[in-house]
Structure formats: structure tokens, C-alpha cells
Amino acid sequence: MTQAAIIEALRSRKSVRQYLPTAVPQADVAQILTAARLAPSGANLQPGRFYALAGDALSDLSAQLMKAAQTKDPVSEYSYFPKPMPAALKAKQRAAGFALYQALGIERRDIQGRKDQFARNYRFFDAPVGIVVTIHKNMGKGCFMDLGMSLMALFMAAQDMGYATTGIGAIGNVGPDAHEALGLLDDELVVCGVALGHEDRSARVNQFRTERDPLDVFASFRGFD
């Protein structure tokens, strides 16, 4: 892949929240996960495990997670967002949420509509493949960074093969239930989920794109000619 192709792939990648029912072959999922493992990691620890589900296995898990989300309070086994959220970051969060619901035609005061849309996280947005991502509970913060690089490698490998993805941090809200449903080891912590499949290009929700900060906001240059 050329430099231009890599940059264009990064620019065109997006979080897809509505998928076609077309099945994804296990061999393709295996190829994508193998590519994800190529990401760098400190001391080559290669943190993270990936549990890929499809068909009845995914339907059963989704049903259990939906029930847990409806009947239990969220459980945060690790800190995803800063607490408290700084005002500048809170503004970004609200802007992204507003743009998403606006794309879906969900009004600001439509609380039930917002709840219903958020609940789709626990159904992996009806993608044909759902992946639950875990990490060893004793891993340090740097290993979460390494896992993030592995996830980005997963997203880009999927895109290169013609598939769409989105990360699902909300799966962490029901981490213990996902842990129990999958029969995971005691030392595993559920980090997030990933939806994988073919994008439904006709869906309004997939027309939504978040904005990125301009270069001068997040980068500085020193010592250059």
C-alpha cells in the first residue's frame, strides 16, 4: 500500500452503526485478527484477547447484554473517560452525540429514542460479527495503549478487505455479564466490543461523521527549518 493509499484509508475510515445481514466468513475474521496482532507492543507482550462471535452465539450474547443493560446499573471496571470531564472535552462529547442523533432524526428531548439507539451498542449494531476484546487485569496503562494500536490495526485490516467496523466502549458497562456469558478466565477484564460486517450505505446513521481537530490544536513543531 502506498503512502497516499494509507492516508486516504485513514481519512475514509469511519464508525459504522448499521450493517447488512451478509455473513462474514470465519477465514476473513481470522485474517483480520491476525493482522491486528501485528501491531507493536512494549516488550512484545501483545496484550489483549479477541472473542469473535457470529450467528446464534452472537445473538445469545447480545440478548444477555441487553438484559443486563436494562436491569442493572453500569459497571466500570476501568476508567475510560476522565472524571470529572473537563469542560472542553465535555463539549466535544456533546457535539458528537448531538450530531449522531440529528443524523438519525432523534430530537433532543426524545429521551426514549436516545436510549433505544444507545441500546443498539449491546446488539453490536446488528452486525453479523461481534468481537469482545479483553485484557489481563494486571496490565498497566501502557498495555491499554498497545491494545489500542492493535484495535486500530484491526479496523484498518477490515477496511482493506472491504469490511466496516466500529468500536463499542459501552460493552465495558456490562463487562461482568459479558465475562460470565463467555466463560472468561478470572484474570480477564472486558475492555470493549467491535462490530464487523458490510456497511449498509443506505442507513442515515452511516452518513454521520465526527470532526477532527485541526493540526495546530494538537501539535507543535520545534527545531525545523
- What average pLDDT does the chain have? 95
The pTM of the full predicted model, rounded to 2 decimals, is 0.95
Residue 76 pLDDT grade (very low, low, confident, very high; cuts 50, 70, 90): confident
Domain ranges for the chain, please list them.
14-78+122-207
**Per-residue b/e over 184-200, b at no fewer than 16 CB within 10 Å?**
beeebbbbbbbbbbbbb
**Is 223 buried (19+), middle (13-18) or exposed (0-12) by CB count in 10 A?**
exposed
Q: Tell me the mean pLDDT in the region 168-172.
A: 97
Among 26-30, 83-87, 107-111, 136-140, name the one with the lowest average pLDDT: 107-111
| CA atoms of 88 and 161, how far apart (whole Å) | 37
pLDDT at 215 over 80: yes
Q: What pLDDT score does 3 carry? A: 66
pLDDT at 214 over 80: yes
Among 61-65, 95-99, 166-170, name the one with the lowest average pLDDT: 95-99
Superfamily holding 14-78+122-207: NADH Oxidase (3.40.109.10)
Q: What is the pLDDT of residues 96-108, one digit of tens each?
A: 998 899 888 999 8
pLDDT at 73 over 70: yes
Please state at what angle helix 26-36 crosses helix 141-160, rounded to 10 degrees: 140
pLDDT at 1 over 70: no
